[in-house]
A and B are shown apart, each in its own frame.
Chain A
């Protein structure tokens, strides 16, 4: 059974720092991995999607990498800003289920201090 974990559970950094969020999954048989952002009381916003054949994706100050064989992904945020404060979730689309099931991690709560 696919399981997704995220470390750390919470992170607080001063504004301007570069930071890395980690995501691990137990079964490497995935179609893709997606990173989301969730602000309090809001829905999830898609940040980056990495297909299983890709190694990384970039969008602005965000860079996500994928090492499928080791079951790991990282989300790198450059020059963090207070507006980056949110919960970040990763999710994998599992290859072994009979439908396109997406399994979510518990999230990392990020606080960027001005």
Chain B
């Protein structure tokens, strides 16, 4: 089975600062990769998904971007953070139509 690694676990950043969250996958090749955000008391919002290196699709227009420089690496970035970017960010991976696995998440607080 695959394992999803995320870091950092927690992050406190001032408004206007840049952001880089990293996700790596172990135990499978050519996975689909996803970035979700979970706001306090709310459901999961899909932000980005990727079916391969350099292939990124965005679900929601926002202040964030994603990149996939390697098959098992997925990065979430921002040039200038907003207060509204605070939340719990989750990376997930799967093979086509198979079970989806999640990483431990990153708690981002923008102050």
Contact = CB atoms under 8 A, between A and B. Distances in A.
Contact of B97 (A32, A41, A91, A104): A32
Interface in A32-74: 32, 34, 36, 41-46, 49
A43 B44 contact: no
Nearest to A6: B43
Interface residues of B, number: 26
Contacts of B102: 36, 43-46
B90 A44 contact: yes
Contacts of B49: 99, 101
Interface stretch (B14-22, B66-74, B78-86, B103-111): B103-111
Nearest to B101: A46
Interface string A92-104: 0100000111101
A99 B55 CA distance: 12
B63 interface: no
B57 interface: yes
Closest 8 CB pairs of A and B: A44-B102, A43-B102, A104-B44, A43-B104, A49-B99, A106-B43, A43-B105, A31-B97
B43 A100 contact: no
Contacts, number: 50
A99 B43 contact: no
Given A43-B4, A100-B97, A102-B34, 13 more contacts: A34-B99, A36-B102, A41-B88, A42-B104, A44-B90, A44-B102, A45-B102, A99-B32, A99-B51, A99-B57, A100-B32, A100-B94, A101-B49
A105 B101 CA distance: 16
A101 B46 contact: yes
Nearest to A106: B43
A43 B34 CA distance: 13
Nearest to A36: B102
B100 A107 contact: no
10 contacts: A32-B97, A34-B100, A41-B88, A44-B102, A46-B101, A46-B102, A89-B43, A100-B94, A102-B46, A104-B43
A93 B97 contact: yes
Contacts of B34: 102
